[in-house]
């Protein structure tokens, strides 16, 4: 009896899954699957030049039809246009590192987009001809899923305690009917109920904190800053008051991480929030948009006052280094300022203009305040 054929059959040097279907049908099915995939995939030659890509990859990297750029050129164009948040001085080293990872068939994580900060995972596999298969996967869903799981866990605990409170309340009512005979039990139940109420309030506070603050620095998270900032704009429009937005970014933050490690970088960001809070009013909103970038929304603020606040914060950060153990971590920030125009009704409009001013401050030498020069600004 002859041996059974192997599960994989060799065609040249490449393994191929055996199937009774015609090769043309399988190729057509594979093409349809790649066209509708929710992740990007591209085939690169040995020079890392794009030979082919599916629609999702072309959309992510703004790849033009009938062009075959190198992946380094795509990264460079994305960084130059601001789709990858990267200071211009760091671009050559960044491009060298990503290109080296692709040549070693490794993985890398980059951020695409200015305001949404969606993380992408690049996963690379080597081909027999020296080329590469590159997959580009949007990881923002996984991050949102982790946050949703955390909120769901706290919510489940709140529901459990709410049910327990209802049971204890019913028990307390029964004890009250028995009056003096059950006075001791009623007192014990009352104390238990007070503890349950205190625990429930604690859990509610914990849930609100989780949903509205940045876990590392304690500043408002992006979603809460946008929501509270929008409410502040709407209240100002009704009362005829102007809102200002400051965008702040730590200069050369990668150098801080490289020198003091990620623990030192995290400590520096927490110290920065402490300094910024000390230099702002109680009604001002301070939030972390992502990475080392922060925003401050200033209600009822004129142009001159906003410039004064921005310059004061910039100077305080430069004059107050963080202490990481026995080590001093000097920091400076670049600041972009935008004042609400009469036609502006959305917080995202002010943030976008302040973000443009911030990048002009970066390009102008860092550690400075630049006001948005748009003719729409008040």
Q: What is the CATH number of the domain that holds 296?
A: 3.30.70.270
Q: Quote the mean pLDDT of the chain.
A: 82
Measured CA to CA, the distance from residue 32 to residue 213 in angstroms comes to: 43
Residue 14 forms part of a structural domain: no
Spatial strand order in the sheet of 369-371: 285-290, 293-298, 244-250, 333-339, 369-371
Which of 143, 103, 144 shows the shortest CA–CA distance to 124?
103
Higher pLDDT residue, 100 or 179? 100
pLDDT band at 1; cut points 50, 70, 90: very low
In a shared domain, residues 272 and 364: yes
Residue 4 has a pLDDT of 38
Query: For position 46, which CATH number holds?
Result: 3.30.450.20
Select from 138, 172, 200 the last residue of a domain.
Answer: 138
Q: Is a pLDDT exceeding 90 seen at residue 144?
A: no
Report yes or no on 10 lying in a domain: no
Average pLDDT over residues 150-163: 70
Give mean pLDDT, residues 114-140.
76
CA–CA dist 358, 317 (Å, integer) = 16
6 in any annotated domain: no
pTM, to two decimals:
0.49
What pLDDT score does 142 carry? Answer: 57
DSSP label of 341: -
Distances, alpha carbon 135 to alpha carbons 10, 44, 79, 198, in Å: 25, 11, 19, 50
Question: Could you read off the pLDDT of 301-341 as tens digits, one per residue?
Answer: 999 999 999 999 999 999 999 999 999 999 999 999 999 98
Is the predicted pLDDT of residue 300 greater than 70, yes or no?
yes
**Domain shared by 73 and 187, yes or no:** no
- Give the domain extent around 95: 21-138
Same domain for 154 and 69: no
Question: Is residue 28 located within the same domain as residue 160?
Answer: no
Token pair recorded at residue 279: 């230099």
**Active site residue: 59, 146, 292, 293, which one?**
292
For residues 153 and 131, membership in a common domain is answered with no
Pick the range with the lowest mean pLDDT from 4-18, 75-89, 259-273, 342-356: 4-18
Q: Strand 322-324 to strand 327-329: parallel, antiparallel, or no bridges (unpaired)?
A: antiparallel
Res. 126 pLDDT band, cuts 50 70 90: confident
One domain for residues 236 and 349: yes
User: What pLDDT does 97 receive?
Assistant: 83
Assess whether pLDDT exceeds 60 at residue 10: no
**Residue 29 buriedness (CB in 10 A; 0-12 / 13-18 / 19+):** exposed
Q: What is the mean pLDDT of residues 41-65?
A: 88
Residue 292: active-site member: yes
Calculate mean pLDDT across residues 180-195. Answer: 75
Give me the mean pLDDT over the 15-27 stretch: 69
Name the pLDDT band for 251 (thresholds 50, 70, 90): very high
In a shared domain, residues 250 and 310: yes
């Amino acid at each position: 009896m002859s041996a059974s054929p192997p599960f994989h059959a060799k065609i040249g040097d490449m393994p191929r899954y055996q199937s009774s279907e015609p090769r043309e049908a399988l190729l057509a099915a594979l093409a349809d699957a790649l066209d509708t995939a929710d992740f990007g995939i591209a085939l690169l030659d040995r020079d890392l030049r794009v030979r082919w890509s599916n629609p999702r990859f072309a959309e992510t990297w703004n790849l033009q039809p009938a062009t075959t750029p190198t992946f380094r050129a795509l990264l460079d164009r994305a960084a130059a246009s601001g789709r990858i948040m990267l200071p211009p001085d760091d671009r050559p080293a960044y491009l060298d590192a990503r290109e080296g990872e692709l040549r070693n068939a490794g993985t890398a994580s980059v951020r695409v987009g200015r305001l949404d900060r969606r993380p992408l995972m690049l996963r690379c596999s080597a081909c027999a001809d020296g080329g590469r298969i590159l997959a580009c996967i949007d990881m923002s869903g996984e991050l949102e899923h982790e946050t949703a799981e955390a909120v769901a866990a706290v919510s489940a605990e709140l529901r459990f305690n709410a049910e327990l409170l209802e049971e204890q309340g019913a028990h307390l009512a029964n004890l009250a009917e028995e009056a003096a005979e059950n006075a001791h039990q009623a007192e014990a139940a009352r104390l238990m109920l007070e503890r349950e109420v205190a625990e429930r309030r604690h859990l509610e506070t914990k849930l609100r904190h989780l949903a509205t603050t940045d876990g590392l620095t304690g500043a408002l998270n992006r979603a809460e800053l946008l929501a509270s900032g929008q409410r502040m704009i709407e209240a100002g429009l009704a009362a005829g008051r102007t809102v200002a937005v400051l965008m702040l970014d730590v200069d050369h933050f990668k150098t801080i991480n490289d020198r003091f490690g990620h623990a030192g970088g995290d400590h520096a960001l927490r110290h920065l929030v402490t300094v910024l809070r000390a230099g702002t009013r109680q009604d001002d909103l301070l939030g972390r948009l992502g990475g080392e970038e922060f925003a401050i929304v200033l209600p009822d603020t004129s142009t001159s006052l906003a410039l004064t606040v921005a310059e004061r914060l910039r100077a305080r950060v430069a004059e107050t280094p963080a202490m990481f153990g026995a080590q001093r971590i000097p920091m400076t920030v670049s600041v972009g300022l935008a004042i609400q125009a009469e036609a502006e009704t959305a917080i995202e409009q002010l943030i976008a203009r302040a973000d443009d001013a911030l990048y002009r401050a970066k390009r102008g030498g860092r550690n400075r305040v630049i006001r948005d020069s748009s003719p729409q600004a008040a």
